[in-house]
Amino acid sequence: MPKILTIVGARPQFVKAAALSRALKKHGIEEVLVHTGQHFDENMAEIFFRQMEIPQPKYNLGINSLSHGAMTGRMLEEIEKVIVEEKPSVLVVFGDTNSTLAGALAASKLHIPVAHIEAGLRSFNMKMPEEVNRILTDRISKYLFCPNENAIDNLKSEGFENFDCHIINCGDVMYDVALYYSKVSAEHSTIVSDLKLGPGKFLLTTLHRQENTDDPAILASLIFTLNKLSERYNIVLPIHPRTRKIIESRGLKLNFNPIDPVGYFDMIELLKHCAFVISDSGGLQKEAFFFEKHCLVIRNETEWTELVEMGFNFLTGTESAKILETVNNLGRHNVKFDKKPYGDGNAAEKIALVLKNIN
């Protein structure tokens, strides 16, 4: 039976790891979890392990608050030590973070096969650190677990069929997680009543991408837009510590009160009850779809193009006029959320069955 070394570091990876860990345990596969420490805030890290019954990491590297190069380098160094100690059969990474790339590089250099979950996604914007991370990780991975057909097509167009790798459309582990935890989220979360939010009377938003927070003009425009929308809706903004610090340092004023980062059950309940979502997050775009809510993507590109093409999500960019116009037109969209572009909710099971047969 193989030994799996799983690397996690950021909120979405904790969520995905929950689904995979359950499937691995079901098949009796040994898993060693490594937490790089990339997200270290209590509400953005430890709460996920407690709430979602993820096995406690055997290793917590505590690496955070560094530049991209320094962070990735430190992670690479420390993950390499763990690989030498544990001698895994395969190393699993998720998504597109510095933790993802560092884990993949460390394993590749030690000739340990890499399994990349969420392979093949592309924004086609090489200025995004996430795009660089995901492309490089795909290239050095042996097992490319893709969440949808678009991801498969991206890999084929880049010549991956000529590489020594396995391309697998397994569906999206985030859909597994959404289905599993939506049944119990109300038992673990009182956030909607605590915040006195009426169903469909508030909008849920996130704001953390560097291209949005680090550009003063873009950030000011987005804050102006949210303030304008606060005249019509309650705004629920779980704010990333880094984003809060930047807003305060630039003297920008919010006409509403952001909230601290929330756990996954809280986020599910907010998604269930909100009117719609405005976000620059990659994962929340999909999660909105899972809970049948439209999402305005405040970026110039998205990895989830199929959701835009099918009329569920809207790529608005960051200009205030475009965002406000899209909000005003939401009532005209009567799209049924009856398509299943991300599988049937058994992605983790499919991944576990492949990993089970690795020697």
Q: What is the mean pLDDT of residues 288-300?
A: 97
Output the pLDDT for position 206: 96
Give me the DSSP letters along 83-116.
Answer: HHHH--SEEEEETTSHHHHHHHHHHHHTT--EEE
pLDDT of residue 217: 96
- The CATH label, of 1.10.240.10, 3.40.50.2000, 3.40.50.620, 3.30.70.100, for the domain at 3-172+343-356 is 3.40.50.2000
CA distance 286 to 291: 9
d(CA 268, CA 288): 9
Alpha-carbon gap, residue 333 to 356, rounded angstroms? 44
What does the pLDDT read at residue 56? 82
Label residue 42 by pLDDT band (50, 70, 90).
low
Q: Please, are residues 335 and 312 in contact by the beta-carbon 8 Å criterion?
A: yes
What superfamily would CATH give domain 186-332? Glycogen Phosphorylase B; (3.40.50.2000)
Q: Are 351 and 145 in contact (CB under 8 A)?
A: yes
**Strand intervals (E) in the chain:** 3-8, 30-35, 59-60, 90-94, 114-117, 143-146, 166-169, 202-206, 234-236, 276-279, 295-297, 313-315
> pLDDT band for position 44 (50/70/90)?
very low
pLDDT of residue 55 exceeding 80, the answer is no
Question: Is 208 an annotated catalytic residue?
Answer: yes
In the chain, the largest separation of any two C-alpha atoms, in whole Å, equals 59
Give the residue among 217, 190, 221, 173 at the shortest CA–CA distance from 355: 173
Indicate whether 32 pLDDT > 70: yes
CA atoms of 352 and 263, how far apart (whole Å): 26
**Residue 10 predicted with pLDDT over 50:** yes
**What band does 324 get if pLDDT is binned at 50, 70 and 90?**
very high
Catalytic residue, candidates 68, 166, 208, 333:
208
Do the Cβ atoms of 207 and 239 come closer than 8 Å? yes
Taking all residues of the chain, what is their mean pLDDT, rounded to a whole number? Answer: 93
Instruction: Choose among 179, 185, 215: nearest CA to 299.
Output: 215
Place of tokens 């903004």: 237
Supply the pTM of this predicted model: 0.88
The pLDDT value recorded for residue 63 is 93
Residue 45 above 60 pLDDT?
A: no
What mean pLDDT do residues 45-66 have? 79
Mean pLDDT check: name the lowest of 97-101, 123-127, 159-163.
123-127
CA distance 26 to 15: 18
Band (pLDDT 50/70/90 cuts) for residue 322 is very high
Per-residue 3-state assignment (H helix, E strand, C coil) for 188-243: HCCHHHHCCCCCCCEEEEECCCHHHHCCHHHHHHHHHHHHHHCCCCEEECECCHHH
- Spacing of C-alpha 190 from chain mean position: 23
What pLDDT does residue 75 have?
97
Least confident of 66-70, 218-222, 225-229, 254-258: 66-70
Q: Would you kindly state where each structural domain of the chain is located, as residue ranges?
A: 3-172+343-356, 186-332
- Residue 201 amino acid letter: K
- pLDDT of 54 > 80? The answer is no
pLDDT of residue 12: 78
In the prediction, which pLDDT does 149 show? 95
Confidence of residue 340 (pLDDT cuts 50, 70, 90): very high
Q: Say whether pLDDT at 320 is over 90.
A: yes
pLDDT of residue 49: 66
H helices, E strands: number in the chain: 17, 12
Placement of tokens 């909100």 in the chain: 274
Cβ–Cβ contacts within 10 Å for residue 120, how many?
27
Q: Which of the residue ranges 47-56, 240-249, 257-266, 315-324 would you say has the lowest mean pLDDT?
A: 47-56
**Cα R_g (the chain), whole angstroms:** 20
* CB-CB contact of 20 with 98 (8 Å): no
Count the Cβ atoms, other than its own, within 10 Å of residue 320.
19
Q: Residue 200's pLDDT is what? A: 87
Paired tokens of 6: 């799983």
Confidence category of residue 47, pLDDT binned at 50, 70, 90: low
pLDDT in tens, 67-98: 999 999 999 999 999 999 999 999 999 999 99
Percent of the chain with pLDDT over 70: 97
pLDDT, tens only, 230-268: 999 999 999 988 899 999 999 999 999 999 999 889 999
**Predicted confidence band at 333 (pLDDT cuts at 50, 70, 90)?**
confident
